[in-house]
Amino acid sequence: MDWTDPSCPVARAVDVVGDRWSLLIVRDAMDGARSFTDFQQRTGIARNILADRLRKLVAHGLIAQVEAPSGKRRVYALTEAGKELFPVIVTLRQWGEQHAFEADEPHSVLVDEHGAAVPRLVPAAADGSRLTSDTTSVRFKR
């Protein structure tokens, strides 16, 4: 693969999951989608685009094809790498809740196993202080 920016982890991540459909597929896999039909019905994505994105996510190790419990077909399951995108999905969701809806506009909310809204994810330094783009910088690591 030709990377957009070979030395930037953000650019490489965006090359893998930066399009709308890939992130929505990962989101739906986190919400229990397993079959091609599940993903197609939940997203409304065209079948050819869905097939392409699933191939790409499998090739990059974010989703794997596994045997269904019935043993009759194969389904898709998140790998550990795919599951590690959970904080990314949560952060995008929380940003969307705050910036993509009008104040009175209804929307879904992510809740924990007890029904409480998931608290905002905030990057923190080793000492617990809040990190922002003003308090961090990028350095090249060899």
What CATH number does residue 76 fall under?
1.10.10.10
Q: Could you tell me if 34 and 75 are in contact, meaning their C-beta atoms sit under 8 angstroms apart? A: yes
Rounded to an integer, the average pLDDT of 46-68 is: 96
Q: Check pLDDT > 90 for residue 1.
A: no
Which domain range does residue 50 map to?
9-83
Model-level pTM? 0.88
Quickly count: other Cβ atoms within 10 Å of residue 89's Cβ. Answer: 17
Taking the CA atoms of 129, 9, 23 and 61 in sequence, report the sign of the dihedral they define: negative
In this structure, is residue 101 part of a structural domain?
no
Total number of domains constituting the chain: 1
Residues, the chain, total?
142
In this structure, is residue 22 part of a structural domain?
yes
Q: What percent of the chain has pLDDT over 70?
A: 98
Question: Which has more confidence, 25 or 140?
Answer: 25
State the amino acid at position 112 in one-letter form. Answer: D
pLDDT for 28 equals: 97
Distance, first Cα to last Cα, the chain: 21
In this structure, is residue 1 part of a structural domain?
no
In this structure, is residue 74 part of a structural domain?
yes
